[in-house]
Every structure is written in structure tokens, then in C-alpha cells.
Amino acid sequence: MSHIADLDGHLRRLRPPQARKVEIDLSDVTALDTAGAWLFHRTAKVFREGNAQAEFTGASESHRILLDEVARNDEPCDIEPPRRNFVIQILDRIGRGAASMWEQAVSITGFFGLILVVMARTIVQPKRLRVTSMVHHMEEAGWNAIPIVTLLTFLIGAVLAYQGSVQLRNFGAEVFTVDLIAISILREIGVLITAIIVAGRSGSAFTAQIGSMKVHEEVDAMQTLALDPIEMLVVPRVLALVFMLPLLVFGADLAGIAGGALVAWTSLGISPTMFLNRFLETTDLVQFWIGIIKAPFFAFLIAMVGCYEGLKVEGSAESVGQRTTQSVVESIFLVIIADALFSIFFVEIGW
């Protein structure tokens, strides 16, 4: 086996001779394995395909047995691809997907518990908290995200006001456009759009950063130095996003309402003063707090999934890309599920 490449090259360069009979002398061969026997057999087979009679001479009894065994097993055949019922294939994919989702849910739940344990340890020993790292991620994930969050929510508020006014005009109830904007932006749209933007922007960044550290074995180096990656990498990012997302939601609410007010002014003739008076009359503070209360929970989910997928990277740039994509998809999925649960909860308690 150690010389298989050289031997294979030499034997392939041989040309079938013009003679009708070829003898392959094995009398000087002292040791023979299956790979070597196959090379001899294949060489003789090439000679035979050239209309020459090839045979082995000088082979020991054990070598002869091995050569015969290789020859008996040389039966190439076309392998038919497996044919499976289409319905069974669909059910198989659904089953595999369900099993994979269950395994992922169990793993993320365990990671969630691990983060809580490390956070509890940090509360008991505040000096363990990496404040500098947390402030850095507060700037990167929060402060630097303000322009894109406010711009998009401003435009969404404007679109929502325009579409709402078009429908309400059919009933002569354009003034209720203010109520529509206020409740939808404060209660649902502001926090949900902000969470989705942050998941695509900051959650994916967490995965890529930690994934790159995994590729370059920096996480392994931390563990070698008895440093906890959860404490060093995950907790600062989670806390940074938990602190900053409510502020981003607050800015998104203001931008969304401003966009709606602008459309109401230009399309409906509702002046900013009239808009503000109607807004204050019909909107209570509960609507605002519903959106703000959701924000820390959404932030925790986004940061947790981003860090989890980053730590699951397996030593290649391709894995980093795959995990980053999966991080965004899982974060948005969990945020929407959490938002649905919050909506049911708030309706049940009368908010």
C-alpha cells in the first residue's frame, strides 16, 4: 500500500505487446497484499484485452490463491439507483426535518440554561463581568443600528398610514388612521421590525465573529487558559443587546409615528397638531409599554441564537456562512413565535 501510487503509474505506462503470449514472472515477489494482487490482475487484464494470452509464473501458493480470489471478484456491473416512492420521500424528509428541529430545540434549551447559570455567577461575582466588551457591543449592536432602524420604521409607518387611510376613506373614517398608526407601531410593528433588523444585522455578526474565532482556534485557546467562552464571549453580547434593544424600539416607535404623521399631513390634511392631539386622546401608555416589555426578551433570543450558532462552527469558512444564515433564520423564527405568545398573553390579561 505504501508504494501503490508509484507501482500504479509504472504499470499503467506499459503497452500490450505484439506477442500472443505474455508471462508475468512473480518469482522474485516475496510479499503480496490485496492491492498488489489487484495491480497484477489489472495489468494482465489489459494485455488480454490486447488479444494477448497473459499468465502468471513463479507465484507461490499463497500468492496464487490471492490472485485467483481477486480475479473471481472482478465482476463490474452497473448499479441501479434506488427507486423510492415519491410520497415516502416526502414523508422521509418531513420526518428527518422534525427530528432535526427537536434536536436543535433541545440543544438551544441547554445553551439557554448554561447562559443563565453563568449570568447568575456573574451577579454573585460582579467583577467577572467584562464591562469593556459589553460597552463595545452596546455601541456596535445598538448605537450603530439606530440609523437603519429609524429609517426603515419611518418608511413602514408612512406606508401603513397611506394604505390605512385609503381603506378608511371608503367609510369616511380617515381620522382613525391616527389610531391605526399609534396602536400598530407601538404595540407590534415597532418592536417586531426592530427585532428582525437586529437579528439580520447584529445576530448574524455575533455568529460570524465567534465562528471566525472557532475557525482560528481562539476559543480552544481560551479553554486551554481556563477561560470560560460563555463568560468571555456570550454574556457580554447578550447583556449588550438586552440593554440596547428597548432603546432601539423607542427610537423605532418615534420614527414610525413620525412617518405616519407625515403621510397623514400630506394625504389627509391632518396637521401635526391635530395628529398629536388625537394620538394623546386615543392612545394610552399601556400600548407603549407592551412593545418595550417585549424588547428584552427578543434581544435575549437573538443574542443567544447568534452566539450558539457561532460556537457550533466547525473549522471552515463554509461552516461560518452556513451557521450565519441559520442564525438569522432561527432568530426571526423564535422572535415571531415569542411575539405570538406575548400577543395571546396580553389579550388574556386585558391589555
pLDDT band at 300 (very low <50, low <70, confident <90, very high): very high
* pLDDT tens-digit series, residues 117-145: 999 998 888 888 888 989 999 998 888 99
What would be the CATH architecture of the domain defined by 4-72?
2-Layer Sandwich (3.30)
- On the question of pLDDT at 13 being above 90, the answer is no
Q: Residue 129's CB: how many other CB atoms inside 10 A?
A: 16
- On the question of pLDDT at 239 being above 90, the answer is yes
Q: What is the pLDDT of residue 246?
A: 93
- Supply the pTM of this predicted model: 0.71
Q: What is the pLDDT of residue 16?
A: 63
Domain assignments of the chain as residue spans, ordered by start: 4-72, 129-348
Q: What is the pLDDT of residue 163?
A: 85
- On the question of pLDDT at 17 being above 70, the answer is no
Q: What is the pLDDT of residue 4?
A: 80
Share the mean pLDDT of the chain: 87
Range in 19-33, 99-113, 181-195 with the lowest mean pLDDT? 19-33
* pLDDT tens-digit series, residues 204-222: 999 998 988 888 888 889 8
* pLDDT tens-digit series, residues 245-260: 999 999 999 999 999 8
pLDDT band at 341 (very low <50, low <70, confident <90, very high): very high
